[in-house]
Amino acid sequence: MKKVFSIILTVILLSALLLSSCHGSRGMSEFVMPDSFDESKNYEITFWAKNDTNKTQTGIYEKAIEDFKAIYPNIDVKIRFYTDYGKIYNDVITNIATSTTPNVCITYPDHIATYMTGKNVVVPLDELIASPEYGLGGSEVKFEGPTADEMVTKFMDECKIGGVQYAVPYMRSTEVCYVNKDLVEKLGYTLPEDNITWDFIFEVSEAAMAKDADDNFIINGQKVMIPFIYKSTDNMMIQMLRQKDAGYSTDDGEILIFNDTTRELLLELSKHGKTGAFSTFKISSYPGNFLNAGQCIFAVDSSAGATWMGSHAPMQDIHESKIVEFDLKTYPVPQFDPKNPKLISQGPSICIFNKADHGEVMASWLFTQFMLTNDVQMAYAKTEGYVPVTIKAQEDPEYKEYLENAGADNKEHYKTKIEATEILISNTENTFVTPVFNGSTSLRDASGQMIENVIKSVRRGQTVDDGYIDGLFEDVKSLYRLDQLGNDDPNMSSEDLGPLPNTAKALLGGLLIAWVLIGIYWILEKNRKKL
């Protein structure tokens, strides 16, 4: 009988273990700000940043880490570079499950909203920012960083989720329309002084599609001409909807994008996609390459991509023999109402991940603040068409001199790059961001995917009409699971689900007793047969 009772006890213990483990882990404890930062203790923090092939930007990151180390010798910062933000996002999601997230991360609020589905994964920054000792401009911070009042308020607000500051902005950019003025005027059109309209762009683009008897485009004498190419179609749809005051989503995550205005925009774009007057980066490749080869008239890309635009751009991705000489003009993204411009605000922000050692979080916060100092902000902003996120840096005499010297050379003072920068500076109050929630990244992807699908379809000879759009809406909803956001997030297993309800306890207890009785019966029956 002792053997029987031993087996029964084992069954009970195993069942209890399984029941306790299936209810979810407790997650990480909430960050509590220490009274002080222990500089006698050594810390190693990891910093994940995005960089493509811009060695100047890499050097700025590395110098910032070196300079920070000279001030805080007890903090080692290990940087890991990624080629795009999507890869950072995917790796963070993977590492949340194993509690191996980086300490500091270049990211976007859309991504942070998903990170936050894990309990206490991302550190809220309000208390850190406001600390008299260690906050922005704090008395115990050993370098001259910006105060809270010296941060651009609009950029700071973009990093709030549910009214809580979960990140600080690092750099800001917007979208710019880069225009080959020579080809516009060759077609008999005159560019406007201020903002450019969608109607103007489509009219000129259609006019550029005329060919000669040898099947060459008359406008450039080449076999290739794509008058209008848009780099980011998700931004294209988002801005078009905002300019028309149409639905996209609510702050609570209600999806509004599948509306009549979206339908009208897609039907209109399909007409220009069918003629070849309009295309996208995903379909045709990088717009700057076509622009610089005289094969594109209107190229919409980020202001941070300005160094790739123009005959004398410091960055080129085509052979010099293909580059044509032309007069390049810059405009804000096309508008429906040029007197009431609306531009998207974009660009990287910085978030901090929670750790068991809250002193490690403090070390991360100090490094994050250092990335907001004038030297780092101005140096990075000068590499491409970025704008510093602090008033302190924007008003620095060195930065103002940099802007005033536009065109002095085709490197640091490349004219188009500085013009793109000034578009955002002068339109900061006209910028907007989309609502941030768990799933907003999927909605953003879906908004661009609809444009991509429409253009691909008309190029294949398919008919794009109301019936097609109905099907497209349903397909995109399904593909991006927009009707079930938050139901199967990969981080939910790390969340504390609280105590089991009494009914669940009773059910599981009954199952446990049943398995125990089955075990007892099986053992007794086996012993009986041996007798």
DSSP per-residue string spanning 115-131:
HTTSTT-BPP-HHHHH-
CB-count exposure of residue 33 (10 Å: 0-12, 13-18, 19+): middle
3-class DSSP state for residue 428? helix
- Residue 386's identity, in one-letter code, is Y
- Residue 59: per-residue pLDDT: 94
* Residue 7, Ramachandran bin (φ over 0: left; ψ between -120 and 50: alpha; else beta): alpha
The fraction of the chain above a pLDDT of 70, given in percent, is: 86
pTM of the model: 0.85
Q: 180 phi and psi, to 5 degrees?
A: -80, 95
Q: Write the pLDDT tens digit of every residue in 463-497.
A: 999 999 999 999 999 999 998 764 434 333 333 33
- Residue 295: per-residue pLDDT: 98
Measured between alpha carbons, how far is 361 from 46 in angstroms, rounded to an integer? 11
3-class DSSP state for residue 498? coil
Cα-Cα-Cα-Cα torsion 505, 506, 509, 513, nearest 10 degrees, comes to: 180
- Residue 109: per-residue pLDDT: 94
Quick one: CA dihedral 7, 13, 19, 21, positive or negative?
A: negative
Q: Write the pLDDT tens digit of every residue in 205-262.
A: 999 999 999 999 999 999 999 999 999 999 999 999 999 999 999 999 999 999 999 9
Task: Count Cβ atoms below 10 Å from residue 204 Cβ, excluding itself.
Answer: 23
- Residue 117: per-residue pLDDT: 87
Please say whether the beta carbons of 110 and 166 come within 8 A: no
Q: Which helix (H) or strand (E) holds 369?
A: helix 358-370
Low-confidence ranges of the chain (pLDDT < 50): 1-26, 486-508
Measured between alpha carbons, how far is 168 from 122 in angstroms, rounded to an integer? 12
Question: Residue 451: which residues within 8 A CB-CB, separation 6 or more?
Answer: 233, 236, 237, 266, 269, 280
Q: Give all strands (DSSP E) within 371-440, no chain letters.
A: 387-388, 431-432
